[in-house]
Each structure stands twice: as C-alpha cells, then as structure tokens.
Amino acid sequence: MLQKNAIQFNEAAPEVYKAMARVEGAITQHGQDALLRHLVKLRASQINGCAFCVKMHVAEARQDGET
C-alpha cells in the first residue's frame, strides 16, 4: 500500500526509474542472493532516511524468508 504523499519515481523521474529497473534485472540475472539484495536495499534506504522504503524493503525481505 502506497502512502498518499509517497513519490512516484516512475512518474517523477522515468529515466532514472528505468535505469534502476535495468540494474535490478542485471543483478537478479547474474544470480545475486535474493536475501542479500534485500538487505542491501534496506541499508541504502536507512542511509537515505526513507522510512517508506525501509518499511517496503523489510516487508519484501520477510516475504522472501529473511528473519
């Protein structure tokens, strides 16, 4: 569920969003461990101070089996 005031990056910066999606695809394609990817994204969100992203990445990681 998105917050009402959450930035829609695909609308705000479509080229950046597309580039990030390509990076994510390349990392996934080359077999990077899914749980490690979740933890890296979570840490980046913590560093950026984005509570919305922290919550999202925690939920995704837990859904994939992270404790």
Its sign, for the CA torsion 26, 27, 28, 30, is: positive
Using only C-alpha atoms, the chain has a radius of gyration, in whole angstroms, of 13
Query: Tens of pLDDT along 13-46?
Result: 889 889 988 988 888 888 888 899 899 999 999 9
Per-residue confidence (pLDDT) for residue 63, from 0 to 100: 95
Does the pTM surpass 0.75? The reply is no
